[in-house]
Amino acid sequence: MKIKIIFIFLSFLFSFLHAEEDLKYFVNKAIDNNLKLSAERKNLEAAKQEKNISRSEFLPNVTISGDQTSTTSTNRINQSGSTLSDTNLDSESKSISLEQTIFSGFKGLNTFKKSELETQRATLKFKSAEQQTILDTAIAYFDLIFKIKNEKFNISNVNLFERQVESDSARLQKGEITLTDLAQSESSLAGANAKLIKAKTELSSSKTKFERITGEKAPETNDLDETLILDLPNSLSSSLETAKLKNIDLLISKLDYEIAVKDFNIEKSRLSPSASINFSKTESKDFSSTVDEKDDETVKATITWPLFKGGENVSSIKKSLYEKQRAQFLLEDTKSKTASETSNSWSNFQSSKGVLTATKAQLKAAEIANEGITLEYDSGNTRTTLEVIQSRSLLLEARIDNAKAERDYLISQFELAKQIGLLSLKTLN
């Protein structure tokens, strides 16, 4: 007996670990195959290069140039009979110039800081796409398991009614039941077959969705246990505080506002004076007759102050100001939306937990009732065929409701984890 109990426990433990391992496996496959995630990864790489580009504004511009010219002129005999000599004209020159911006009204500094913020935003967008991929995979996985269970429950229900029809046919021959009782059983069997067809269709649809998201063939069988618990806050207030710090959409909105501020500062800097210094050196040689060498060195300091450009600069500043204000309004809206959606996710998580507890109790009661009614019916007591049918229908409904509650409870955890910014590959470890 002890050996049997140990075996059952080990089987349960293995099935649970197997289910969790499968989820992690399919999440990784979904991440590898997700095109949007690949696009965001490239966007992040591009943002890093933009940061390098903006850094170049602080470095000098160096230009090297050179040229060589060779001209040969062949003279012809003129009308007087005299021959003019040939002429060879050769020359070469080379130059190097260096230009360094000294001050640009803080345009370069703001541009560089903006590129840093854009890199951070690209990183967050990649994380957001990753989070959504994990959530989509988890939903598809848990729904697939539910649909597999639903099909099994309906197959079992059909088998039960098939046996009942056989039993009632034999009892009708013995005169223990009426033809109406048999008709009720046959009708219930037909209804059970119809529900099974629907369950198979839903399972097929769930498999298709799962395979589209993960890029992998859907598993045929699996086990799921509601003891898969994510590390989540234990209160609404704690969830709200976590969301303020880690919600991806909120963090992106904050960066959008900071970037808009940098854009505003960049536009303002266009009205500020700028200063630069230029050094150039040129060497030239002329080989036409005697070598003539010439070296020039030039140092030039330039100050530029744009005063009027047809009103373009002023309009650009006003435009960027409005865009900054817009980003601020959107940030405040995102804060409100984040708080509201976090509260909804927490409520859904708590509600699903309560529903799961209730459906467990419902299932236990339905199993006890069905077992008792079936035994009493088979023993020829006062239980009617209709009572048996009703009890089995209630049992099927209780099984499906409980499996659905398990699915919803697990999904609610992942939805809350994403909402408060805690959903990642590490979450599944």
Which residues, 6 or more positions from 53, have their beta carbon under 8 angstroms from its beta carbon? 115
| CATH dotted code for 18-59+106-271+314-428 | 1.20.1600.10
pLDDT of residue 283 exceeding 70, the answer is: yes
Residue 116 has pLDDT above 70, yes or no: yes
Question: Could you give the strand order of the β-sheet that contains 274-286, starting from the edge strand earlier in sequence?
Answer: 61-73, 87-103, 274-286, 292-304
C-alpha torsion 416→420→426→429, nearest 10: -30
Give the residue, 191 or 7, on which the prediction is more confident.
191
- pLDDT value of position 2: 39
Rounded Cα gap, residues 204 and 218, in angstroms: 10
- Condensed to tens digits (0 to 9), the pLDDT of residues 335-384 reads 999 999 999 999 999 999 999 999 999 999 999 999 999 888 888 767 88
Q: Which H or E element spans position 102?
A: strand 87-103
Residues 163-188: pLDDT tens digits?
Answer: 999 988 998 998 888 899 999 999 99
User: Which neighbouring-strand residues pair with 94?
Assistant: 66, 283
- Quick one: average pLDDT of 40-66? 73
The reported pLDDT for the residue numbered 291 is: 55
Report the share of the chain in percent with pLDDT over 90. 50
The average confidence (pLDDT) of the chain is 83
Q: Across the strands, what pairs with 293?
A: 285
E strand or H helix at 90: strand 87-103
At residue 4, the pLDDT reads: 39
- Please check the confidence at residue 15 and state whether its pLDDT lies above 50: no
Determine what percent of the chain is predicted with pLDDT higher than 70.
76
Query: pLDDT digits over 62-96, tens only?
Result: 677 666 666 655 556 556 656 555 556 666 777 77
Cα separation, 409 vs 355, in Å, equals 8
The confidence score (pLDDT) of residue 108 equals 75
DSSP-assigned letter for residue 80: T
Report phi then psi at 85, rounded to 5. Answer: -75, 155
Q: Is the dihedral of CA 302, 306, 309, 313 positive or negative?
A: positive
Count Cβ atoms below 10 Å from residue 157 Cβ, excluding itself: 24
Q: Which of 131, 421, 412 is nearest to 254 (CA)?
A: 421
Type and span of the H or E element at 258: helix 248-269
Give yes or no for residue 54 having a pLDDT over 90: no
Instruction: Report pLDDT for 279.
Output: 72
Q: Which residue type, as a one-letter code, is found at position 354? A: G
Model confidence at 198: pLDDT above 70: yes
414 burial via Cβ count (<10 Å: 0-12, 13-18, 19+): buried
Give which of 126, 25, 142, 210 is closest to 415, Cα–Cα. 142
Model pLDDT for residues 206-225, shown as the tens digit of each residue:
999 999 999 999 987 666 55
The yes-or-no verdict on residue 3 having pLDDT over 50 is: no
pLDDT at 14 over 60: no
CB neighbourhood size of 150 (10 A): 24
Q: Residue length, the chain?
A: 429
81: left (phi over 0), alpha (psi -120 to 50) or beta: left
DSSP at 291: -
pLDDT above 70: residue 55: no
Q: Name the more confident of 415 and 304.
A: 415
pLDDT of residue 353: 94
Mean per-residue pLDDT for 143-148? 94
> How many CB atoms are located within 10 Å of the residue 270 CB?
17
Q: How many helices (H) and strands (E) does the chain have?
A: 8, 4
Q: Is the pTM of this model over 0.75?
A: yes
Task: Provide the pLDDT for residue 8.
Answer: 35
pLDDT over threshold 90, residue 294: no
pLDDT given for residue 230 in this prediction: 86
Provide mean pLDDT across the span 193-208.
Answer: 96
Q: Is residue 323's pLDDT more than 90?
A: yes
> Tokens 């008709």 appear where?
183
pLDDT at 1 over 50: no
Most confident of 34-48, 193-207, 270-284: 193-207
